[in-house]
Copies of this chain bind each other. A is one copy, B any other.
Amino acid sequence: MPLHSSVVAQSTLGLHSLEHYEPLIGASSLERISRKADRVRTMRIAHVSSTFYGGGVTELLTPLTLMQNAMGIETDWHLIQGTPGFFAGTKKLHNGLQGEDVDFSDTERAVYEEVVFENATRIHLDDCDAVIVHDPQPLPLISHFSDREMPWLWQCHVDLSQPFGPTLAYLRNFAEQYDGAIFSLPEYAQDFAVSQHFVRPAIDPFSPKNCELSDAQVERCLSGHGIPTDRPLVTQISRFDRWKDPLGVIQAFRLARQQVDCRLVLIGSSASDDPEGAAVLEAVKRAADESVIVLAVDDPVLVNALQRRSAVILQKSTREGFGLTVTEAMWKGAAVIGGNVGGIRHQIEDGWNGFLVNSPDEAAARIVQLLKDARLREQLGSRAKESVREKFLMSRLLEDWLDLLISYERIAV
């Protein structure tokens, strides 16, 4: 039986019963979602991705798969196994989809396709009623299931609005074998010759990263990690990835510190399928001075505590699939400064529930403004929390998925 003490909840995968959402979304929403679930209760769903750890896909699939199973919808989550060479290649594909001019060699292509083939021999999906494949890593799987009798959907969590041509052309061959493609936002889509769907991401308000923490728990957590709170904290929580612009964050912080005293915290864990992360982390450490705390740890409770305790939360991305770390910070009522890109623009209405910035200079100015005005921080933060409650909780994402599955149940392959 599940245990629900707060200590356990913070150490496990989270609460996963829809009933827990009732205080947040109300009884009528709960009932509407339950009725939709009844319509797909007999379906068996399989998700396929490349890791259980790190990155936005994991953050979504962990609660989604647990919630669906808790509702009686049999939902599996399969992983593909890769090699270092495989993940180095898929990282290039990921960067290519985001617009970088990448050189994906014939050997890398052979390794990519061969590893996916090997995994295909070991993943058995005959009994499923729908298969959802996530991101580029397992994308070619579908080639090895040509006698499939159920819909296959590719969910692309990457912004495809300005892809590198050769990368897109190559992956299009696989994507168009699917029955549908799912994007986070309409402007990220590509004109694949398949049905298009949109499911905006969401956060799990009961996960260790997002659940309520008392002030005492927050202070204990920060001091346990050696993070002093003698000066206001300015924090960016993000993988060490150059699209997250950690060096731009350090630059903005240096400018801001000329006017207000503060401390910068940069915290992130490299996704286990991201070989570039270590190099970016090294560059960040070289650029940091003694006012900057750099932590490469994977501790969701620490992230939670930092989002609650920091005076300002930054997410100064220069490209962003959606920006779940922005959602998480807004859910805690934080004053958030986000890069004026991608999904961050769907979350932050500039000057209303946060700030959008286009440069380190702009970021620095907003840091100074916020650090000098506690009332403004509180005002933006409380509006931020309300907008997440309305639009970006897992209960809304679950409902989007139920709608999508219902539509595919009707038009079975």
Which A residues contact B (CB, under 8 angstroms)? 1-3, 5, 7-8, 11-13, 16, 44, 52-53, 62, 65-66, 69-70, 74-79, 81-86, 107, 110-111, 113-115, 117-118, 121-124, 127, 208, 272, 298-300
Contact = CB atoms under 8 A, between A and B. Distances in A.
A52 B87 CA distance: 13
Chain A, interface SS category: mixed
The 10 closest A-B pairs by CB, nearest first: A11-B85, A52-B81, A69-B121, A11-B111, A12-B114, A13-B118, A8-B110, A12-B115, A3-B114, A3-B110
B75 A62 contact: no
Contact of A13 (B12, B83, B107, B124): B83
Given A69-B122, A122-B75, A122-B76, A8 B81 contact: no
8 contacts: A3-B113, A8-B110, A11-B86, A12-B111, A13-B115, A66-B118, A76-B123, A77-B122
B114 A83 contact: no
Given A84-B299, A107-B7, A114-B8, A79 B52 contact: yes
A124 B74 contact: yes
A123 B65 CA distance: 10
A149 to B, nearest CB: 16
A66 to B, nearest CB: 6
B121 A70 contact: yes
A173 B69 CA distance: 27
A56 to B, nearest CB: 16
A86 B12 contact: yes
Contact of A110 (B5, B76, B83): B5
B66 A122 contact: yes
A299 B85 CA distance: 10
A13 B84 CA distance: 10
Contacts of A81: 13, 52, 62, 77
A287 B301 CA distance: 34
Query: Residue among A70, A83, A107, A123 with the most chain B CB within 10 A?
Result: A83
Nearest to A13: B118
Contacts of A85: 11-12
A12 B107 CA distance: 11
Given A7-B107, A11-B115, A84-B299, 19 more contacts: A1-B117, A3-B114, A5-B110, A11-B86, A11-B107, A11-B111, A12-B85, A12-B86, A12-B114, A12-B118, A13-B81, A13-B115, A53-B272, A62-B81, A69-B121, A74-B124, A76-B123, A83-B300, A127-B127
